[in-house]
Amino acid sequence: MTIESPDGDIIDCVHKRRQPALDHPLLKNHKIQKAPPEMPKRRSTAGKTNDDEDAATAAPAPAPSNGAEVAKGAWQAWHQNGTRCPRGTVPVRRSMVDDVLRAKSLFDFGKKRSPLGLARRPDAPDVVTGNGHEHAIAYTGSTQEVYGARATINVWDPSIEEVNEFSLSQIWVLSGSFDGSDLNSIEAGCQVSPELYGDSRPRLFTYWTSDSYQATGCYNLLCAGFVQTNSKVAIGAAISPVSSFSGSQFDITILIWKDPKLGNWWMGFGDNTLVGYWPAELFTHLADHATMVEWGGEVVNSRPDGGHTTTQMGSGRFAGEGFGKAAYFRNLEVVDADNSLSSVHGISTLAENTNCYDIQSSYSNEWGTYFYFGGPGKNPQCP
């Protein structure tokens, strides 16, 4: 069955046993896991305060203001007319010839650019990867054992200056050597990438690598690896509706966690809708556990005409503008060894160039640990 989306996408309903994931040599005899034995349990955090936050630099209050309201979670455009894939199949967004031609090469199609091995601060997460990538993120320490992460992500449609640039808001689940070639990463969130998708719509995406983005892994289902189990969520499809300045705010919730029984890394979308999983066989370090989680935004700055790009991060507004104007992540949580979710406390934040993109974090009873982030890119302070 094939479904034509109102936004121009073509969704093919593929039998679950013929999906791209199972072409991976490590999954030759893989038996599809229908569902994890249990979802992560929420641990009570009553009475906790974010003692590590400096009130002078805390993010603006999360309470709705300026007439804006938090609307229900954003969903996907391709089944707005009620058409869905039949049971026993999974929706796969069709790649067109033009999609491949926009990539630098066939090998590069669907892959992130490899890191350049730039020097890093010893206490910083793996974000300073060169190739013009810039970030505004919150992250956990690198000494704990982590088994998953969750957050609710504000959905916007940031403008992109160059076709080969992108802007994304995502969760990273990481393990391995940040300065070597064995970094394992699982990523999911929303992304605007004209090069990858041929338009400027925000799209639900996933990514994985087991060798620091060198040869393994890819976006979405563009290579073998991620096993999809859901017939209603199409990875790589547009998210609709999106937030508007001083208007309704839309967000999506992403949950990534390790099934304690079989060791696969599952992804939940929205209200605990199971999308699929990254099999444990794909990884080395993540076959055991993660050591760091990151939440936040990333853009590619290709420095068009020698100056900073005008590609926006988040809503294109700085963190200090607050609700309804700046983009947010709320209810940051991690999964621990006993499969329990708890609010993150004592997070660190990082932005390479706060004149271009910045981040401010805080804590509230309603939003738990949260932050505003983003920026316009090029401006008088960011030439």
Q: Is 313 helix (H, G, I), strand (E, B) or coil?
A: strand
Length of the chain: 383
pLDDT of residue 142: 73
Tokens of 214: 């060198």
Residue 81 pLDDT class (50, 70, 90 cuts): confident
Return d(Cα 70, Cα 211) in angstroms, integer. Answer: 39
If DSSP codes are grouped into helix, strand and coil, which group holds residue 304? helix
Band (pLDDT 50/70/90 cuts) for residue 114 is: low
- Predicted local confidence at residue 51, as pLDDT: 41
The more confident residue out of 45 and 291 is: 291
Taking the C-alpha atoms of residue 374 and residue 34, their distance in angstroms, rounded to an integer, is: 38
Residue with the two structure tokens 């956990």: 140
Would residue 134 show up in a list of annotated catalytic residues for this protein? no
Query: Do 111 and 238 form a contact (C-beta atoms < 8 A)?
Result: no
Query: Which position among 134, 165, 187, 195 bears the catalytic label?
Result: 187
Name beta bridge partners: 206: 188
Would you say residue 93 has pLDDT above 70?
yes
195 is catalytic: no
What pLDDT, on a 0 to 100 scale, did the predictor assign at position 369? 96
257 phi and psi angles, rounded to 5 deg: -155, 155
| Percent residues over pLDDT 70 in the chain | 88
For position 54, what pLDDT does the model report? Answer: 40
Contacts with 172 (C-beta within 8 Å, 6 or more apart), sequence order: 125, 185, 186, 187, 292, 293, 294, 295
Which whole number is the average pLDDT over 74-89?
86
Nearest to 138 by CA among 117, 159, 153, 122: 153
* 141 vs 63: CA distance, rounded Å: 29
Radius of gyration of the chain (CA): 19
Arithmetic mean of pLDDT, 77-82:
82
Cα 253 to chain centroid, rounded: 10
Residue 49 pLDDT grade (very low, low, confident, very high; cuts 50, 70, 90) = very low
CA–CA gap between residue 361 and residue 373 (Å, rounded): 9
pLDDT tier at 124 (50, 70, 90 boundaries)? Answer: very low
Least confident of 4-13, 77-86, 227-236, 317-326: 77-86
The whole-number pLDDT of residue 130 equals 56
Tell whether the model's pLDDT for residue 128 goes beyond 90. no
What CA–CA distance (Å, rounded) separates 302 from 299? 10
For residue 64, the model assigns a pLDDT of 60
Pull the structure tokens for residue 75.
Answer: 């969903």
Provide the whole-model pTM: 0.91
Are 210 and 284 spatial neighbours (Cβ–Cβ below 8 Å)? yes
Q: One of 53, 161, 294, 298 is an active-site residue; which one?
A: 298
- What's the rounded Cα separation, in Å, for the pair 373 and 382? 16
pLDDT digits (tens, 9 = 90+) for 174-205: 999 877 789 999 999 999 999 999 999 999 99
pLDDT digits (tens, 9 = 90+) for 291-337: 999 999 999 999 988 999 999 999 999 999 999 999 999 999 999 99
* Whole-number Å distance between alpha carbons of 339 and 262: 13
Average pLDDT (86-115) is 79
The DSSP code sequence of 291-343 is: SEEEEEEEEE---GGGS-----BTTSS-GGG-TTTSEEEEEEEEE-TTSEEEE
- Give the E-state strand segments of 155-258 in sequence order: 167-175, 184-192, 203-209, 227-228, 239-240, 251-258
